Chain A
Amino acid sequence: MTAAAPAPMRSGSVPAHPPEAADLERLATFDHVVVSWVEDAGYPMSVATRFDADASARSVTLTQTNPQVPTDRELSVVGSHIHPTPGGYDERRYVELWGRATAAGGGLRFSPTRAWGWDETVTPFFEYSERSVPQSRRYLAALSEEKGRPIKPRLSLFWLALRTTRLPFLSATAVPVLLGIAIAASHGAFTWWTALLTLIGGSLAHLAINVTNDIFDTLSGADEANTTPTQFSGGSRVAIYELLTIRQLAALALALFAGAGAIGLLLVLVTQSTTLLWIGLAGVVVGVVYTAPPFKLVYRGLGEIAVALGFGPIMLLGAYVVQTGRIAAEPLLVSITIGIFVALILFVNEIPDRPGDAAAGKRTLPVRLSPSVVQAGYLVAAAVALALIAGGVATGLLPWPTLLALLALPVAFRVYQGIKVHYDSPYTLMAVMGMNVNLTLLVGGLLLVAYVATIVWLAMRP
């Protein structure tokens, strides 16, 4: 009763289908089946029994049971498996066939006409769940109508805020802003409260852009088409899950933009810096054209450049200008390195999204480029970003402690290797995406340590 390597199970969103040999081969892997029918009294009845599946004949021989399996009505024949583990279970899979049985010798010959099933080793539970989101919406809409009041999914305010704004990604703002402040401090300029305001304003702008991006990706269908989202990719999905409406998201984005804009204007007034005003305006433009039509840079493969500009020169140089009132080559060079690493977060996070992005016309770089070019491109970009630091030290533009950043090179290489191995597997790629986010934090952290050391050394110098 065993079959060698049945074909992959159809996934959760595919309707029941005429049985194929693979469905029978898959059924043959179970120890027993449960046969169900509807009794004359109107109740379903189920009985477990032994069986033998014949894939080539598309039939199943069932051992007769007591009560007897009827031959005058439709039957359901189910093979189901679960593997208990300490505290839970795994290896869930089942196959369900529908059809009728005829008497055959001492048993029954069951001829299926429809089949259905799920195997979590083929369609991971998270993907199966995502494919089932439309069913949840349908059910809740019908329930709301039935009860005469809206019944919507909920999350606590804390988790909803975290999910909606994708708060953990704020590290991508903290790194360039803190570096800009640290470089300014190493140049003798530091005001704590404008530094704090810069960090808050930059964070609000980042969160506003996250929410805006979600609005457009929801409206374009890119997020809905993505059935393998992860904690790093596929958007917040709060609108798809109906946790919030698009209108609520738009209001939130506007509030966040307004907060960021107010802080930006305050800083311009305080510093009297027209340079800061231009940098701020550039930030607003880049943030909006990233996903908003008609520009939609991220849909045209230009998202990485927009992100590199936004989280590199605009954030880092902006933070530097707030403290010093001027632009300088040193923070500009560091901002390019940081901008590249933050852009590489987007670049890697787009890899698992590419089927959904392609379906929605979002032609990101991983959609446009071959896997080998994407993988090589990652390594080259990371190497160039670190080489800029080495070059800066060699030319005397950067203090020598910034060479510490080169310690991140092996991590960049491990991310590159991870991308190669897990390129087509969204869920196993998650660990690599996490490592890639940590790489940016590592580079930023090492550069911060370098600048703090430089500040201390300069302060202690006679």
Chain B
Amino acid sequence: MGWLPDPVERLLEEGLVAEVTVIGRNGRPITHPLIPLYDGHRIYLHSSTLFSKKLEHLKRDPRIAISLSDPVAMKGNTDRATIQGTAHLIEEDPHSDWERLILELWRKKEPSIDDFLKVRVALPLFFERAVIQVRPERCLYWPQGLTDRRPVEALPPSLEAA
């Protein structure tokens, strides 16, 4: 597994939605609700070309923050975390790259996606998607979601050693 604290990995594995903040054209923070996926090392987000402004922002500035904050979307887990990192866009083939890279992870979190995929013809552009692969670089963790208290901070081993 990766270096993220276990409770944060649980949030990533359980979370149905995260608040993902990118940096807009004029340096303004812009937040998008997105499904976070996690393979034990990297965090994967994904975006339809329909809602691709976030991708345009990430091309200009790949720095990103992922907030896991809503107990309703975290299966009742009240812990909270924010992960900062750098995003790498995978968009060579928006038609099928995402299926190869993240469909299994997506399916585990949202099994009904298969029902939508069967009728891909109904909304073809929704399934033209780019993958946002995020390398976590810093993690803040608030047990029981008490964000007015000092968070537990974690860094990747390379930075920790430095």
A residues whose Cβ falls under 8 Å from a Cβ of B: 31-32, 34, 36-38, 42-49, 63-67, 74-76, 78, 80-84, 87-89, 92, 94, 96, 98, 126, 129, 132-133, 135-136, 139-140, 142-143, 147, 151, 153-155, 159, 162-163, 231, 241, 243
B33: nearest chain-A partner, CB-CB = A80
Residues in A whose Cβ lies below 8 Å from that of B124: 153-155, 159, 163, 241, 243
A92 to B112, CA, bound (A): 16
A452 to B124, CA, bound (A): 42
Residues in A whose Cβ lies below 8 Å from that of B13: none
**Does B73 have its Cβ within 8 Å of any Cβ on chain A?**
yes
Partner of A81, one of B29, B72, B111: B72
6 example contacts (A-B, Cβ-Cβ < 8 A) are as follows A43-B63, A74-B27, A80-B70, A81-B70, A142-B56, A153-B128
Partner of B50, one of A36, A83, A135, A151: A135
Q: Are B72 and A34 in contact (CB under 8 A)?
A: no
Chain B min CB distance to A230 (Å): 10
Residues in B whose Cβ lies below 8 Å from that of A66: 147-151
Partner of A96, one of B31, B64, B73, B120: B31
Q: Please encode chain B, from 78 to 93, with 1 for each CB lying within 8 Å of some chain A CB and 0 for all others.
A: 0010101000000111
Q: Are B52 and A44 in contact (CB under 8 A)?
A: no
Q: Given A89-B16, A159-B120: A44 and B72 within 8 A (CB)? A: no
Residues in B whose Cβ lies below 8 Å from that of A241: 124-125
Partner of A136, one of B28, B52, B75, B122: B52
Q: Are B16 and A84 in contact (CB under 8 A)?
A: yes
A243 to B124, CA, bound (A): 9
**Does B21 have its Cβ within 8 Å of any Cβ on chain A?**
yes
Q: Are B147 and A78 in contact (CB under 8 A)?
A: no
A45 to B120, CA, bound (A): 36
Q: Are B148 and A64 in contact (CB under 8 A)?
A: yes
Q: Are B63 and A136 in contact (CB under 8 A)?
A: no
**Does B49 have its Cβ within 8 Å of any Cβ on chain A?**
yes
Q: Are A94 and B33 in contact (CB under 8 A)?
A: yes
**Does B101 have its Cβ within 8 Å of any Cβ on chain A?**
no
B residues whose Cβ falls under 8 Å from a Cβ of A: 16-17, 19, 21-23, 27-31, 33, 48-53, 55-56, 61, 63-67, 69-70, 72-73, 75, 80, 82, 84, 91-95, 110-113, 120-126, 128, 137-138, 140, 145, 147-151
Q: Given A44-B22, A132-B50, A135-B50: A153 and B95 within 8 A (CB)? A: yes
Partner of A82, one of B27, B31, B65, B70: B70
Q: Are B51 and A47 in contact (CB under 8 A)?
A: no
A277 to B66, CA, bound (A): 69
Shortest Cβ-Cβ A-B pairs, 5 listed: A48-B69, A46-B67, A88-B112, A87-B112, A139-B52
Partner of A139, one of B55, B72, B123: B55
Q: Are B28 and A76 in contact (CB under 8 A)?
A: yes
Residues in B whose Cβ lies below 8 Å from that of A36: 19, 21, 29, 31, 65, 67
Residues in B whose Cβ lies below 8 Å from that of A38: 23, 27-29
* Main SS at interface, chain A: mixed
Q: Which of B31, B55, B63, B151 has the most CB of A within 10 A?
A: B31
A182 to B33, CA, bound (A): 58
Partner of A47, one of B53, B82, B113: B82
Q: Are A78 and B31 in contact (CB under 8 A)?
A: yes
Residues in A whose Cβ lies below 8 Å from that of B17: 80, 82, 89
Chain B min CB distance to A39 (Å): 8
Q: Given A82-B70, A88-B110, A133-B50: A75 and B29 within 8 A (CB)? A: yes
A155 to B69, CA, bound (A): 37
Q: Which of B82, B140, B150 has the most CB of A within 10 A?
A: B82
Residues in A whose Cβ lies below 8 Å from that of B72: 31, 81-84
Chain B min CB distance to A306 (Å): 28
Chain B min CB distance to A148 (Å): 12
A47 to B150, CA, bound (A): 12
Q: Are B21 and A76 in contact (CB under 8 A)?
A: yes
Chain B min CB distance to A438 (Å): 19
Partner of B16, one of A31, A65, A82: A82
Extra pairs beyond A78-B19, A78-B33, A88-B110 (6, CB < 8 Å): A43-B138, A47-B67, A49-B148, A136-B50, A136-B125, A163-B121
